[in-house]
Every structure is written in structure tokens, then in C-alpha cells.
Amino acid sequence: MPDPDDPWNTEDVSDPDEPAPDAPTPDAPPAAPTSLWGRIWGDLVYRFFLLFFVYLGVGAGVYVTVTRQFYFVVQGLMRLTVTLVHALLVPFQPDLKVAELRVYSAEGRGGILLIEECTGLYETVIFLAGVLSFPTTWRKRAIGVLAGVPTLYLINVVRVMALLVIRQWDVHWFEFFHVYFWQPALFLMISSVWALWLFGVVFRGTQSPDPAA
């Protein structure tokens, strides 16, 4: 059954016997011009970008506050990332070792040290802002959060694994990939996960309006 609260649902869910509330009448006065704020808020695109930056600012503030008060959560996430990277690579590289937040080769081929920026939390804040600001139902937003956040974390684990392999192969290429390649690639990954949620959840089952003749 179509959701009447979904702004992207184009199916007619109204009662066919009920007259249209916005039907024009011959004697109706012309509509008064709306305010600038009303035009901005009434446009879904403008509203999305406005809410996105609001949620992004709020998310950044919450992130800084929470991580300062509960930094042990961030440390636990870093340790989990180190453990996963080691567990996934050690079958192919048995000399890999873990020391605190560092994964390294016992044969002297180098390693990496995980810091807070390696947890994917920054990317998660951006993704959450994109999901929460998009005009859809809260049920679909919840699906986006529950599916998208773990997906972004797993992508980040793969990124750390790739950087470790590159670091052991060539330190110069490591600097290139770490600084110049993966930073913009992460934003592309955030956009890709968001787009998958958009077309796989938000727009799924909605009917496209008929093209104009």
C-alpha cells in the first residue's frame, strides 16, 4: 500500500468521491505571493540543502562533544578496526602483528598507526546529514541509517587494509594514496552509498509521473 506521507509517492491515495480541496473556482482571488522563506522552504531542493548544512553543523557539534566526553568509544572503534584489518590480512601475510593501535609486519616491511580519522566517523556524520535532510518518511530514513552506517564502516576497513598493503609495497605511493586519492574517494563512496539508499529505498515502488504530451 502506498504511503500517503511519502512526498515522492506519485500514486493517487485520495478518496475518489472527495472533491479536490485545491480545485480552482471562477470567483477565487489570485493567490497572494509567498514570502522568500516560504518559497525556499517550499522547494524540495532548497530545503534539502538548507537542512543538510544544519544537520551537518549539529552533527559536527555533537561529534566533538560526545567524543570528548566518551573518547573510550572512539578508542574501542579504533581497536575494532585494527583487529578486523589484522584478521582479514593475516591469512595472506602471516607475519602481521598488532601492538595497541598499530598493525605492522614483523619482517620489517612497515605498518600503519590508526588514529581517530581512520574510524570512518567523519564520513558517517556527513552521510547521516544527507539521509536526515532528504524529504522522505522516517521509516526510510531509519533504513538508510541502519544499512548505510555499517556499509561505510566496512568500506573504511577496506581502505585501511589497502593503505597497509600499499605502505609495505612503496612508501611514496602510500603518501599519494593516503593524501590525494583516498580523501576525495571517500566522498565519492559516501555519495554512492547515499545514492543506493535513495534509489533502492526512497524511490523504490513509486510511480514516475506520466510525461507531458
Distance from C-alpha of 193 to C-alpha of 128, rounded to nearest angstrom? 11
Q: 48, exposed or middle or buried, with CB in 10 Å at 0-12, 13-18, 19+?
A: middle
Q: Which residues contact 157 (CB under 8 A, 6 or more apart)?
A: 81, 84, 85, 88
**pLDDT at position 32, please?**
47
Alpha helices per DSSP H over 32-180: 36-42, 44-69, 71-89, 121-133, 138-169, 171-176
Mean pLDDT of the chain: 80
* Mean pLDDT lowest among 54-68, 72-86, 168-182: 168-182
Q: pTM of the predicted model, to two decimals? A: 0.75
Share of the chain above pLDDT 90, in %: 28
Residues pairing with 102 in the sheet: 99, 113
**pLDDT at position 209, please?**
43
Confidence band for 210, pLDDT divided at 50, 70 and 90:
very low
Closest to 199 measured CA to CA, from 124, 140, 138, 139: 140
The three-point CA angle 97-169-177 to 5° equals: 100
What's the whole-number mean pLDDT along residues 103-122? 80
What's the whole-number mean pLDDT along residues 142-149? 95
Specify the long-range contacts of residues 112-117, CB closer than 8 Å, at least 24 apart.
112/160, 112/163, 112/164, 112/167, 114/78, 114/81, 114/82, 114/160, 115/78, 116/67, 116/74, 116/78
**pLDDT at position 4, please?**
59
Distance from C-alpha of 55 to C-alpha of 44, rounded to nearest angstrom? 16
The three-point CA angle 146-177-122 to 5° equals: 30
Distance from C-alpha of 165 to C-alpha of 174, rounded to nearest angstrom? 9
Distance from C-alpha of 13 to C-alpha of 1, rounded to nearest angstrom? 9
